[in-house]
Chains A and B, each alone.
Chain A
Amino acid sequence: MTHRLYIGGAFRRSDSARATEVRGADGGYLASVALASGKDAREAVVAARAAFPAWSEAAASRRGGMLYRVAEILEEYRDRFAAEVRRATGGSAEAAAAEVDAAVDRWVWYAGWADKLGQVRGSANPVAGPFVSFSLPEPAGVVAVLAPRDSALLGLVSVVAPAIVSGNAAVVVASERYPLPAVALAEVLAGARLDAGVVNVLTGEVAEIAPWLAAHQDVNAIDLAGAPGALADDLAVAAAGTLKRVVRLPDADWTAEPGLERMFATMETKTVWYPVGG
């Protein structure tokens, strides 16, 4: 079985028609996944950009509601995901089930933030003069997300959910080591009818795909969680050429409750001034 890339709400082969085998923890063949090319990455960016206006302009509670719906479906498929995690990582059934439960909880946690971000990081600015001024966080636009290499599911949801809950559209590069749970997640997103292009999932080689995203002028931010040290340095330097927002947080213990940094690192603050007068 060769799994496809998820771009613009549709599953399709890589433009390069290449694929690679995925082996489980026991070395056995699990499935094949498409090897995304630079062209696929660029198309994913186009799809994300097309999805951004409607997703970011949707009511925050609608985005939250959509993420809650995704969580419901993840929960329905709990056993399937646990099996995927176990096959990939080789741990115990209990550990796999615990990881899936944690991933669902994590997704639910982020879903609840959709309609609260402005209240926590917005401000009314007491400016001098006959003006009202306030500052609100806004999504940056299109975010490239390199999913953590060594986490089958929990790390993946911990970088995807915060990228999109604020209204960004994401191009996700799956873990090279554990790509199958990312493919399964894409299927869940499609089944939940998440707006096409809000999340795009590319499988393949991070070192091949990520540089296209880091240098792309229409990508506004990049999360380097899945890039090893030297590659992350190169990608950060490439991203600097277009002054992208670069998210480079220290390696996380994905089981711990996240802070707010991942969400706000891919947001901008806009300050508005309105005149007051009769």
Chain B
Amino acid sequence: MALRDSYGLFIGGDFTGGSSVFKTISPATEEVLAEVTLGASDDVDRAVAAARHAYEHVWSSMPGRLRGRYLLKIARLLRDRAAELAVIETMDSGKPVRVTRDGDLPLAAAHFFYHAGWADKLGYAGFGPAPRPLGVVGQVVGWNSPLLMLAWQAAPALACGNTVVLKPAETTPLSALAFAELCAEAGLPPGVVNVVTGDGVTGHLLASHPGLEKVAFSGSAEVGRELARACALSGKGLTLELGGAVAHIVCADADVEAAAEGIVAGVFIGQGHVCGAGGRLLVAAPVAADLVAAIRRRMLALRVGDPLDAGTDVGPVTSLTQLERVRELAASMEAAGGARWSAPCELPDRGFWFPPAVFSQAPFTELAGPVLTVSTFGTPAEAVELANGTRQGMSAAVWTERGSLSAWLASRLRAGVVWTNTVNRFDPAAPIGGYQEAGFGRDGGRHGLEAYLDIPGMVNV
């Protein structure tokens, strides 16, 4: 699975050229990795038409059992090519190769293995005896975990009988294109999966395309809202995954070392590039000093550097735009009186680097990046109020040794996912998604199928 110099668009089973190209670079070295095609309006039209053709003539009438076989083939290829795909993902996104190799890739394959098994069992999923797919689905994928997010959106869509047009993020197109190559190798019927690369305009063209029955979008809240408005009028189905910081709640009786370990791993390793990214730490006052000290100790041990080095913990931020956002945010937090601490580290000259930072006495943020904000609380009830005082509500992690307290906190926290004494655990069988402005809809598990089936009487949005 070698990296090519240039890629066309994957439409109707083949790579075809477009009218203009752009370059994708390594965020670690700023070197050009490949030339990629900028999808224009007619390219998006072609892709949707190819997906429609495949849906009507091949995929929607194919027995679930056979659809499942194709998904199994894709799963096996993801598993067998994991090492090479991890390298491609790391080069393009900046995520450390240890993370892509040990985390993103196995999970992406797991999503396909899991959903392959649903393809012929949809009648048992609790949505009626013979639920039908929606049709053609557009999926605009984010940059934080490009291949993994593609997998967790495409696998259920395909298992349910839909065909897809995927649009990876502008700065991280390569793993999606490699995925397209895998689909061709798996012999997937042409047009069932299509990949159109491009920028925000391309994404908008896809998301607003009248030929889609549904759009799945992961990205910024701003764009998510715009899409929600557009879909409200067009009647298209919509699911949104708009991210948000993980709220960590460390109680007075927590295992402080374990919490520090989990928080540092969750917030900084991989630069916070997960959908529950960045972190807001709410710590019980009595253990705050010890916890911050333990976090700093661990941050001192973090290795920031070349993401292709298997010993690296923290790679570059994925793009210059994102780096500028993180820098701006950090500056505004300092201006607001926040105290910033970063472990001293040498940063390479080239590339988009931001040293992991902890802020105290600063307003929290939902930004995805290697930034942790720290506040203290008195009682668990206060912690809940602080944690819930956000318009998002993606995920939370609760640190306590008392089961009854973790159960109480889990029941009160308004977040789509609550982890106890751990963080950033994902599994294709466990639904994820946000409350309120972190998005709507769930991916994964039996619940995640709902978004890709035509449930009688239900109009999404």
Given contacts A271-B418, A275-B421, contact A127 B406 (CB under 8 A): no
Residues on B with C-beta less than 8 A from A271 are 416-418, 430-432, 445
Interface 1/0 per residue, A222-256 and B, CB below 8 Å: 00000000000100110111110110111000000
A219→B23 CA distance, assembly (Å): 44
Given contacts A123-B447, A128-B110, contact A269 B431 (CB under 8 A): yes
Closest chain-B Cβ to A236's Cβ sits at a distance in Å of 4
Within 8 A of B (CB), among A198-226: 217, 220
Closest chain-A Cβ to B214's Cβ sits at a distance in Å of 15
Closest chain-B Cβ to A251's Cβ sits at a distance in Å of 10
Check B457 against A249 for contact (C-beta < 8 Å).
yes
Check A240 against B232 for contact (C-beta < 8 Å).
yes
Check B406 against A274 for contact (C-beta < 8 Å).
yes
A116→B256 CA distance, assembly (Å): 39
Interface residue A135 (Cβ < 8 Å from any Cβ of B): yes
A92→B432 CA distance, assembly (Å): 51
A-binding segment of B95-103, B131-139, B341-349, B436-444: B436-444
Check A125 against B410 for contact (C-beta < 8 Å).
no
Interface residue A95 (Cβ < 8 Å from any Cβ of B): no
Check B442 against A269 for contact (C-beta < 8 Å).
yes
A32→B115 CA distance, assembly (Å): 58
Residues on B with C-beta less than 8 A from A249 are 457-459
A245→B406 CA distance, assembly (Å): 28
Closest chain-A Cβ to B450's Cβ sits at a distance in Å of 9
Interface residue A133 (Cβ < 8 Å from any Cβ of B): yes
Check A273 against B430 for contact (C-beta < 8 Å).
yes
Residues on B with C-beta less than 8 A from A275 are 420-422
A158→B221 CA distance, assembly (Å): 33
Q: Which of B232, B420, B455 contacts A274 (CB 8 A)?
A: B420
Residues on B with C-beta less than 8 A from A128 are 110, 427
Number of A-B pairs whose CB atoms are under 8 Å? Answer: 118
Check B427 against A127 for contact (C-beta < 8 Å).
yes
A239→B430 CA distance, assembly (Å): 28
Interface residue B435 (Cβ < 8 Å from any Cβ of A): yes
Residues on B with C-beta less than 8 A from A77 are none
Check B461 against A269 for contact (C-beta < 8 Å).
no
Chain B: residues with Cβ within 8 Å of the partner, total of 47
Interface residue B229 (Cβ < 8 Å from any Cβ of A): yes
A140→B425 CA distance, assembly (Å): 24
- B435's nearest neighbour on chain A, judged by CB, is A268
**Chain A contact surface mostly:** mixed
Given contacts A128-B110, A246-B461, contact A233 B232 (CB under 8 A): yes
Check A243 against B228 for contact (C-beta < 8 Å).
yes
Check B429 against A269 for contact (C-beta < 8 Å).
no
A143→B435 CA distance, assembly (Å): 14
Interface residue B233 (Cβ < 8 Å from any Cβ of A): yes
- A245's nearest neighbour on chain B, judged by CB, is B440
Interface residue B280 (Cβ < 8 Å from any Cβ of A): no
Given contacts A237-B229, A243-B440, contact A273 B459 (CB under 8 A): no
A254→B436 CA distance, assembly (Å): 30
Given contacts A261-B455, A265-B458, contact A242 B420 (CB under 8 A): no
Check A270 against B417 for contact (C-beta < 8 Å).
yes
Interface residue B333 (Cβ < 8 Å from any Cβ of A): no
Interface residue B367 (Cβ < 8 Å from any Cβ of A): no
Q: Which of B406, B419, B447 contacts A269 (CB 8 A)?
A: B447
Residues on B with C-beta less than 8 A from A246 are 232, 461
Check B419 against A233 for contact (C-beta < 8 Å).
no
Residues on B with C-beta less than 8 A from A274 are 403, 406, 420-421
A59→B461 CA distance, assembly (Å): 30
Within 8 A of B (CB), among A49-98: 57
Closest chain-B Cβ to A214's Cβ sits at a distance in Å of 10
Of A57, A127, A233, A272, most buried by chain B (CB within 10 Å of CB) is A272
Within 8 A of B (CB), among A119-135: 120-121, 123, 125-129, 131, 133, 135
Residues on A with C-beta less than 8 A from B425 are 127, 129, 131, 273
Interface 1/0 per residue, B121-156 and A, CB below 8 Å: 000001000000000000000000000000000000
Within 8 A of A (CB), among B1-55: none
Residues on A with C-beta less than 8 A from B416 are 268-271
Check A243 against B439 for contact (C-beta < 8 Å).
yes
Residues on B with C-beta less than 8 A from A140 are 435
Interface residue A27 (Cβ < 8 Å from any Cβ of B): no
Residues on B with C-beta less than 8 A from A265 are 458
Interface residue A28 (Cβ < 8 Å from any Cβ of B): no
**What are 30 residue pairs bridging A and B, where the CB atoms are less than 8 Å apart in the complex?**
A57-B411, A120-B126, A121-B447, A125-B445, A127-B425, A128-B110, A128-B427, A129-B425, A131-B425, A140-B435, A220-B436, A241-B229, A243-B225, A243-B242, A243-B436, A243-B440, A245-B440, A246-B232, A248-B461, A249-B457, A261-B458, A268-B416, A270-B416, A270-B418, A271-B430, A271-B445, A272-B419, A273-B417, A274-B403, A274-B420
Q: Which 5 A-B pairs have the closest CB atoms?
A: A240-B228, A236-B232, A127-B427, A125-B430, A240-B229
A-B contacts besides A135-B431, A243-B224, 13 pairs, CB < 8 Å: A125-B430, A127-B425, A131-B422, A133-B427, A236-B232, A239-B232, A249-B459, A268-B435, A269-B442, A269-B447, A272-B410, A273-B417, A275-B422
